[in-house]
Amino acid sequence: MNSISLPQDPCLTAQTIRTGPVNPDVGGIAVGVSNISINILLRKSPSRNFSNVCHISRIAILLRWSGHDLKTSIFMLLSQVYPILIATASSIGSGDLSLFDAHYAVAVTASPITVYLVYSSFRDVFSRPNILFQKLMSSKAVVRYLGLTLPLLWLLVNLMTSFYTKAFSDSALCHGMTLSLWTEFQITSNFIGVFDVMGRDLINDIKERGGLGMVSLLGLWIYGIYLVRHRYDIFYEYQTRRRESRHIPPWKRIFLTIWYVPMACWFVITQSHPWMIFLVVLCFHWSWSLGIARGLTFDGYQFNYGQVTSVFSIIPPFLAVGELLVKRSSDICNYFKSMPRYFCIGVRFLLTGRPNPWEQDLLERRRGSWSPLQWLGVIVAWLSVSSLQAAWILGYVEGGSKPNHRNIVTAHHKLWKPFSICLYVSGYMVCVINILVWTSYFELVRWWKSRETTKASPMDKLYKQFIKYLSRTFHLTIVLPIAFVMCAGPLFAPFAGLPLAQQYQWTHLCDSFAGEAIIQSPSLGSSRQPFMSFYYPETPDSTTKVYYFDYIGMSNDPNATTQTLSFAGAVSQGVIPADLQPDIQSISIASPGKSDSISAQCATTINSTTVPVPCMTGTYQISPYLNFSLQDSGNTTYLRAVDKEWQFIDDAPSFVLRYSSSDPRQPLGGIAIQTAVTERNHCEVLKVCLGSRKLGFDILAPLGVAFISQNNFAAYCTQPRVYNL
Is the confidence at residue 513, as pLDDT, over 70? yes
Average pLDDT over residues 411-431: 85
Question: Which pLDDT score is estimated for 295?
Answer: 65
Per-chain mean pLDDT for the chain:
78
- Looking at 268-272, 482-486, 657-661, which range is the least confident one? 268-272
Is the confidence at residue 402, as pLDDT, over 60? yes
**Is 592:653 a contact under the CB 8 Å cutoff?**
no
Residue count of the chain, please give it. 725
Q: What is the pTM of this model?
A: 0.75
Question: Which pLDDT score is estimated for 40?
Answer: 61
- Looking at 47-51, 71-75, 244-248, 536-540, which range is the least confident one? 47-51
Residue 364: CB partners within 8 Å, gap ≥ 6?
none
pLDDT-derived band at 58 (thresholds 50, 70, 90) equals: very low
Q: Exposed, middle or buried by CB within 10 Å (0-12, 13-18, 19+), for 176?
A: exposed
Q: Provide the percentage of residues in the chain whose pLDDT is more than 70.
A: 78
- Looking at 10-19, 89-98, 328-337, 607-616, which range is the least confident one? 328-337
pLDDT-derived band at 55 (thresholds 50, 70, 90) equals: very low
Helix axes 202-209, 275-295, angle to 10 degrees: 70
Average pLDDT over residues 596-600: 89
Question: What whole-number distance in Å separates Cα of residue 490 and Cα of residue 455?
Answer: 49
- Looking at 295-299, 332-336, 623-627, which range is the least confident one? 295-299
Is the confidence at residue 632, as pLDDT, over 80? yes
- Looking at 41-45, 258-262, 683-687, which range is the least confident one? 41-45
Question: Which pLDDT score is estimated for 49?
Answer: 39
pLDDT digits (tens, 9 = 90+) for 553-564: 866 566 677 888
Average pLDDT over residues 381-399: 90
Question: What whole-number distance in Å separates Cα of residue 344 and Cα of residue 550?
Answer: 58
Structural domain spans, the chain? 15-191+297-327, 368-508, 515-717
Is the confidence at residue 408, as pLDDT, over 60? yes
**Is 685:711 a contact under the CB 8 Å cutoff?**
no
Out of 85-94, 170-179, 211-220, 692-701, the most confident range is 692-701
Distances (CA, A) of 64 to 148, 152, 285: 21, 26, 16
Alpha helices in 475-538 (DSSP H): 480-508
Is the confidence at residue 454, as pLDDT, over 60? no
Question: Which pLDDT score is estimated for 4?
Answer: 44
Average pLDDT over residues 478-484: 86
Residue 246: CB partners within 8 Å, gap ≥ 6?
253
Question: Which pLDDT score is estimated for 104?
Answer: 81
Position 376, amino acid: L
